[in-house]
Chain A
Amino acid sequence: MKEEDVKRMIRSVSILGFLLLFLVLSSIGVVLLLQYQPDLVQGWLAKEKSRNSEQISEAFQDEWTPEKLEEVGLVEGEGLQLVLANCTNCHSAKLVTQNRFTREGWIQVIRWMQETQGFWELGENEDAIVDYLSTHFAPEAQGRRMPLEVEWYSLE
C-alpha cells in the first residue's frame, strides 16, 4: 500500500468518526430538549410553519425579478405580492396588465372567474388585491377613437 492511500484512508475514517459523534451528540440534545423544554420546541415548530408561507411568497419574489415584473407590466406597490400569489397561477400576468377597470370592474372580473373558472375565494386579501389593481390598472378616458400611433419609415 502506498503512503498516499494510507493517508486517504485515515482521513476518511476520521471524517466518519466526527460525523457519528455529531449525530450522537445532537440526538442527545434533542432528547434532552424535548424532556425539559417542550414549549420551546413547539414554539420552533410553529415558527417553522409560518416560515413555510413566507417561503412561498419568497419563492415568488425569487421568480419575479424587477426585470420580469417590468416586462409583464406589473408595478411595485402595496398588494403586489398578493396579486402575484393569486393572479398568476392559472393565467399569465399579461392578462392582468392588459386590462383596465375601476374597483367595481375588477371585483366583477374576480366574481366571473370565481363563478365560471374555478378561481378561489380571496377572503380578507380581496380588498388589498382590488386596491392594487384599481390603483395601477384603472381605465383612462379615450373617447370613441384614439389618434393613430405611428412609427415612420421611408417607402421607396
Chain B
Amino acid sequence: MKKQRRAFIKKITLASLASALGAEIVFAKNLPKDYLPVFLQEQDSLKALGKDSALKVLNDRPWNIETPIHLLDDKVTPADKMFVRNNGSIPEKIDISTWSLTVKGESVQKEKSYSLSELKSKFKNYTYQLTLECGGNGRGEFYPPTEGNQWGQGAVSCALWTGIRLKDLLEDVGIKKDAVYIGYHGADAHLSGDPKKEAISRGIPIKKAMQDETLLAFQMNGKEIPMAHGYPLRLVAGGYPASASGKWLKAISVRNKVHDGSKMESPSYRVPIEPIEPGTQTAAENMRIIESMPVKSLITHPKSGAEFSLGKTLEIRGHAWAGEEEVSKVAYSIDFGATWQSCNLDKPVNRFAWQHFQTNVKFPKKGYYEIWVMATDENGNSQPMVVPGWNPKGYLNNACHRIAVKVS
C-alpha cells in the first residue's frame, strides 16, 4: 500500500499538480477508508485559500506558502500567486458590518473608533503598487541554519493596493508631539490559543506612517483583500519587511516609544548592528529593527532548467526592488560573475513598487550556463553573489538570483 502510494505521488510532476484532485478518485480504492494523503489535503487547502496549486506549502499551521520564482512573472502579482506568511490563525468569522478600527495609545489626543464604511467614505482613497517581501525571504540559504520557515527566494509580491492614507487617519484622530511609532493589532489568534497573547503586533516609525504610500488598505488588485492576506483591512507599508504590514487590522496604537508588541522584541525582525561571526550570538543591544529591505532582483522568465539549441536568442526578464530606494541598474552574467552586461530597466510605477528588467541573451557555445542577475540601487548598493552577512534569525538574504540553462 505504502509503495503504491509513493509511486503515485512520484508520478505526479509539477506540471500535473492541477489534476491531483482528480487522481485521488482514481486511486481511491487503494487508500484506507477516511484517509486522505497530506499531499492532497494540501492541494485542497491551497484551493480553499485561492492559491495556484504549484505554490509550496512550507507550513500549514500557521500558513506559510511560497511562490515558485517563475510564477512571479506578472508585473502586478495576482492573488493566487501571492506568498502567504502568517504568524497566527486566520480569523474564523469576520462580520464587516460590525468591524471597527480603533486608534489608541499614549500618543493620541483621544481614542477614536471608525467603522469600515466610515473609513472608506470619510477619507480620500489612493491606489499604489507596493512591494511586500518577507524579512526572512531567502533564510533557507544561511549556514549555520537559522530558526524559522526555510524560505527560498519566493516570499515577495507586488500587488496593487487601494485604501486610505494612514497619515490622513492619524491627522483626523489627532496625535501628540511625542509620537514616535505606531503598532498594529490584528484579529488573528495566537497559535497557543491563549487569547491574551497576540500572534504578531509589529509596527513602523512615525516617519514611515506619515508617507503618502503607507495605506490602510481594503482592496487588493481592485477586489476585496483575500482572507489569507488580511480581509477586510490591513496596513501596507511598502519597502519594509512585510511583517510591518499588519493584517485583519482591528486597532492601531500610537506610541511615545518604539512599539513593544509581539515580535518587536529581539531577535525577531532584527539584525546585528555590528556584524557577527556566523553561528554566534550577540546582545539584544547590538540588534537593530529592520526597516528598508535591501536591493534584490529575480529572473521570473524563463523558469530555471530551460534546454534549447545553440543560436537561440533567449529573452530573460524579471523584477528588481530595493526597499525604500529605487533600483538604478540591473546586470546579468552568464560566466559566473566574470563579466556583466546591463539589462533594460523600467522606472517604478510609483515609489516602493518593483521595477521590471528585460534583455536578450546569446550564448557563445553549447553547455551548462547559470544566468546570474544583480541589481544596484541609487546609493550604489548591489547584491552579493554569495549569501550575505549571517544573522541570528536569517533575515535579509539578497544574494543574486541564479537560473540554470543548457544549450545543446
Contacts and interface: CB of A to CB of B under 8 A. Distances in A.
Interface string B324-367: 00000000000000000000000000000000000000000000
Nearest to A69: B38
Contact of B147 (A101, A148, A154): A101
Interface in A78-131: 90-92, 94-95, 98-102, 105, 108-109, 112, 116-119
Contacts of B58: 94, 98
A12 interface: no
Interface stretch (A23-31, A41-49, A138-146): A138-146
Chain B, interface size category, equals 35 or more
Nearest to B262: A116
Contacts of B75: none
A151 B145 contact: no
B370 interface: yes
A154 to B, nearest CB: 5
A72 B149 contact: no
Interface stretch (B121-129, B237-245, B302-310): B302-310
Interface residues of A, number: 39
Contacts of A155: 302, 306-308, 314
Contacts of B60: 92, 94
Interface SS of B by simple majority: loop
Contact of B144 (A72, A139, A151): A139
Interface string B34-74: 01011100000000000000000111111000000000000
A148 B307 contact: no
A14 B385 CA distance: 86
Contact of B37 (A67, A92, A119): A67
Contacts of B265: 116
Contacts of B385: 145
B188 to A, nearest CB: 14
Given A66-B2, A101-B145, A139-B143, A91 B59 contact: yes
A99 B402 CA distance: 23
A151 B361 CA distance: 21
Given A94-B58, A94-B59, A150-B304, A72 B192 contact: no
Interface string A7-39: 000000000000000000000000000000000
Contacts of B162: none
B62 A99 contact: no
A28 to B, nearest CB: 42
A98 B404 contact: no
Contacts of B402: 148
A91 B149 contact: no
Contacts of B304: 148, 150-151
A67 B40 CA distance: 12
A71 interface: yes
A153 B306 contact: yes
B33 to A, nearest CB: 12
Contacts of A117: 190-192, 197
Contact of B370 (A105, A119, A148): A148
B7 to A, nearest CB: 13
A99 B147 contact: yes
Contacts of A98: 58-59, 149-150
Interface of A: 65-68, 71-72, 90-92, 94-95, 98-102, 105, 108-109, 112, 116-119, 139, 141-146, 148, 150-156
Interface of B: 2, 5, 14, 35, 37-39, 57-62, 141, 143-145, 147-150, 190-194, 197, 262, 265, 302-308, 314, 370, 385-387, 399, 402-404, 406
18 contacts: A67-B35, A90-B61, A90-B191, A92-B61, A95-B59, A95-B149, A98-B58, A99-B148, A116-B262, A117-B197, A139-B143, A139-B145, A144-B143, A145-B141, A150-B404, A153-B303, A153-B306, A155-B302
Given A91-B59, A144-B386, A145-B385, 16 more contacts: A68-B38, A71-B38, A90-B192, A91-B61, A94-B57, A94-B58, A95-B59, A101-B145, A117-B191, A148-B402, A150-B304, A151-B14, A151-B305, A152-B406, A154-B307, A154-B308
